[in-house]
Amino acid sequence: MAINKNALIRYKTIDKCLQNHYRQWTMQDLMKACSNALYEMEGKQTDISKRCIQNDIRMMRSNKLGYEAPIVVYDKKYYKYDDPNYSIDNVPITEEDIKVLAETVEVLKQFKNFSLFDEMDGIITKLEDVVHTEQFNQPAIIHLEKNEDLKGLEHLEVLYQAILKKIVITLSYQSFKAREAMILILHPYILKEYNNRWFLVGCIEGGTDIRTFALDRIVSVEYDFETSYENNGFDGHAYYENTIGVTVLKQYDLAESHLKIDAANAPYVLTKPFHKSQQLIERYADGSVLVSLKVHLNFEFERLILGFGKAIEVISPRRLRKRIQYNLQVALSRYNEPDL
């Protein structure tokens, strides 16, 4: 049930009043206390009616908000909590609440490397404490894909701050093919996650080409306060608009592809499109389908197609069909070798 801000202020005020056992609280006292509280919060005088407070008490007594407040009337005019230790802030957490909290904590913890969530860190810790204190033997419901041993995550915070505050960085980077690390002066633009790996996208000082760097190949990062930061109007959404993965190729490699998917896999591809440009072109009598999509013909796209094995046939463009054919032939040749 949605609660408006003023109602919540009144509930909190009534709760605070009834926790004070050193005085007696009449209906008029509660009305005045709520009016004063709203004035302090909103900066304007609000007259609270008797009916309004009566409705508030009725709501607090009910289970609609989970309060079930033990508010009683004595001497026919004074209000108090029948349990002197009760407060709406001490409402016990239900088993269903614990289930939700446990899964929520796991989701929030995925972002623990970002200072963007620093203010939530204490909240997450408190939630974890509640969950561990109250947790019954309940297996996780949500299982997120994550790799605890993934290298490079320690650089996320430094890179995030550099992008946020527009700071040039000195990057020590060693690709898989390089024998030693190279030093680059880089203008960082965005951080991109794909297939459970993180990448830094930016432009090298003095250049114009957009470059992509895997975080697990970064040796070290330092801020360069001497070099002026330039963004050159980079738009990450526009840059990756026609790309599956992180590899953006030249305009020549942006093409409309036609893929035929067999009947068994057609529902999966139609309900989870490879790309937002995907369109259904034709349904065949045997249940297979023909789809089109306009994307860069990059390594990630090829790997996606190859992952479906015999379920997908590339109809066009011809150069993509040839590359997929070659890869499948090489793979098949390895299985044609004598058994080891």
pLDDT, tens digit, 9 for 90 and up, residues 44-90: 777 899 999 999 999 999 887 778 899 999 999 999 999 988 988 77
d(CA 340, CA 333): 14
Number of C-alpha atoms within 13 angstroms, CB side, residue 207? 12
Question: From the CB of residue 262, how many other CB atoms can be counted at a distance below 10 Å?
Answer: 17
| Domains of the chain with bracketed CATH | 5-90 (1.10.10), 95-134 (no CATH), 153-239 (2.30.30), 251-335 (3.30.70)
Write down the residue that tokens 């007594």 correspond to. 61
Per-residue CA distances from 337 to 82, 126, 330, 332, 333 (Å): 83, 58, 11, 9, 7
Amino acid (1-letter code) at residue 105: V
Amino acid (1-letter code) at residue 191: L
- Tokens read off for 109: 């913890």
258: β partners: 292, 316
pLDDT, tens digit, 9 for 90 and up, residues 182-237: 999 999 999 998 887 889 999 999 888 899 999 989 999 999 888 999 988 899 98
With residue 106 as reference, give the H or E element that holds it. Answer: helix 95-108
